[in-house]
Amino acid sequence: MKKIYLISFAAVAWLSACTTGEHKLATGPWLGVIQLDSTGGKLDVPFNFELKNDSGTYSMTIRNADELINVDEVELVGDTLRARLPVFTSELVVYCGDSLKGFYYPKGVQAGTRYKFYALAGQIDRFPWYSEPPAFNITGRWWFIENPGSPDSTVMVAELKQDGSRVTGTILSTTGDYRYFEGKVSGNRFYFSKNDGAQTIIVKGEISDENTMVNGVISGSPKWVSPWRAAKDPQAKLPEADKLVRVKKGFDTFEFAGKDISGNMVKSSDEKFRGKVLAVLAGGSWCPNCLDEGRYYKQLYEKYRDQGFEVVSLCFEDKTFKESQPKIERFAKSIGAAYTFLYVAPRGREQRDSVLYAIEGQMAYPTSMILDRKGKIRRVETGFSGPGTGEHFVTFAKETEELVKLLLEER
């Protein structure tokens, strides 16, 4: 009953805030709710955002724990508020008038797929309809097992930090982390969610004791609804990213070619890369872990490019360069990166394995290589644990910078 009441209240809040003919949206904090299905709230994904109005120009800031996503492509035309989230292709469209109808398009309006959306003004709690005092503190490291006991079982690690009832953290897999989550513990129940424009995910479960969570559900779409269970273990640790992939026998160098954002063909043999320490990042504009990786290498590139460090992003996108170019350009601009972005192939395993011909193993997006000044591959790894993973990211950043510095000193 509490959930039904919240949705009704959200509709009233929007209608009173966005009136046909006046279009006065309430500024300040909001709670948005994306419904991944129509089962009465079982797969609702809440997220917090703040709406601003600067002399008639609207903007939005989405919050997922410590991550703040600035959305400046927001417009109110007639009775329609439309927000295009940065980097990725997702859009939010809200209609104000005689009735409230809002939709979230995970791949943009053009793609057609959409989920119902509601919002509540003035609400800063992410899960306000669950208000019992927490029965447990789940801070720590957990083995997080998706689809336990099945052929599709996947073992991951959840890093959680609880302050009062509020919980922040992430889930790490061998292909990278799920980035910033935020939620709460209410009684013996655990609720966790995120919406960053690339992924919209809800995680729910029961806490049976201080070391065990059961009867969990994780979902990112109607087609992805999986059970999970978790066991606390301070020693829980995934295999190192550089142990999942390796250079094939008989290879020690790597060559590439692709079109840059302007459509010019660029090759690894070009003068720009000759004699340089080179980081090769294989990913795409659709990949949230690639976003975190790109932001990290942007900083590293700016710090060491004058000493002979270069970065190239090999982008696996749509079927053609024409389709992919605006997405790659938007991705690069959102990062603010001045290094090279190349369209190399459509997204897919066969294309990836063909382009990354010198590597084998459990490859995922992103996969990266670091080459020395002679073009020799000195490190390969797959996946990326971003800043939402805390110490994992700190360790990676330190080790990577030390390697780059070492290779720059070699002649």
Model confidence over 62-109: pLDDT tens digits? 999 999 999 999 988 877 889 999 999 899 998 764 445 699 999 999
385 pLDDT more than 60? yes
Structure-token match 């700190």, residue found: 394
Q: For 5-22, how does the pLDDT look when each residue is reduced to its tens digit (9 = 90+)?
A: 333 333 333 433 454 445
H or E segment at 14? helix 2-17
Q: How far is CA 50 from CA 27, 58, 255, 273, 285, in A?
A: 7, 11, 46, 43, 26
**Across 269-273, average pLDDT:** 96
How long a stretch of residues is the chain?
411
pLDDT higher than 90, residue 320? yes
53-57, 98-102, 265-269: lowest mean pLDDT where?
98-102
Query: How confident is the model over 380-408, as a mean pLDDT?
Result: 93
Residue 382: both structure tokens together: 């797959």
Task: Read off the pLDDT band of 344 (50, 70, 90).
Answer: very high
- DSSP-assigned states of every residue in 149-187: TSTT-EEEEEEEEEETTEEEEEEEETTEE---EEEEEEB
pLDDT score at 244 = 84
Q: What are the structural domains, with CATH classification, of the chain?
A: 2-121 (2.40.128), 140-232 (2.40.128.120), 241-409 (3.40.30.10)
Q: Cα separations (Å) of 284 from 249, 289, 309?
A: 27, 9, 22
Q: In the prediction, which pLDDT does 255 show? A: 97
pLDDT the model gives residue 22: 52
Q: In degrees rounded to 5, what are phi and psi of residue 294?
A: -60, -40
Please state the rounded mean pLDDT for residues 261-282.
97
**pLDDT score for 42:** 87
- Mean pLDDT across the stretch 29-55? 89
Q: What is the pLDDT of residue 19?
A: 46
pLDDT(348) > 50:
yes
Give yes or no for residue 228 having a pLDDT over 80: yes
| Between 243 and 47, residue with greater pLDDT | 47
Considering the entire predicted model, what is its pTM? 0.86
Q: Of 377, 376, 395, give the one whose Cα is nearest residue 386.
A: 395
At 182-226, the pLDDT tens digits run 999 999 999 999 999 999 999 999 999 999 999 999 999 999 999
Token readout for 114 is 């959409």
Q: Mean pLDDT of all residues in the chain? A: 90
